[in-house]
Amino acid sequence: MSYLALVAAQLLYSASDLWKKMIFSAQGFNLATLARPAFIATLVLAMIGFLVQLYAISKLDLSRMAVTIGMMAVIFSTAAGILVLKESFNVWNGLGIVAALLAIFLVHVK
């Protein structure tokens, strides 16, 4: 359950970041954009991710969790870029994801 919470927290962070990028692309970066309900909703989404992450921190070994969440950020960001933002995927992206997965695996092997 704790690892699912960790994955959920990172998914919430990534969704929040993607939504912010889409808002800033459409409306620009200015004070009016920061006060819009959609932008405030992204902050709420990130806060929920933070609370879920705090739960995971209380249940998991911090040194392993930090590496895992960092690598998941790379994987989820790449996936969001490809699926939602229609960015190109090349060999270097694939190697980065493989390296991230290998790092997660090696950290968790005793």
What would the pLDDT profile of 26-36 be if each residue is shown by its tens digit? Answer: 888 888 889 99
Sequence-distant (6+) residues with CB within 8 A of 6 are 53, 56, 60, 65, 68, 69, 72
Q: Give the integer Cα–Cα distance in Å for 29 and 80.
A: 21
| Distance (Å) of CA 4 to CA 8, 38, 62 | 6, 27, 15
User: Which structural domain range is residue 32 located in?
Assistant: 2-108
Number of domains in the chain: 1
* pLDDT at position 84: 83
Q: Which two tokens stand for residue 102?
A: 């290998």
Residue 40: Cβ-neighbour burial (10 angstroms; 0-12, 13-18, 19+): exposed
pTM beyond cutoff 0.85? no
Residue-wise pLDDT tens digits, 42-97: 999 999 999 998 888 888 877 777 777 877 887 888 888 888 888 888 898 888 88
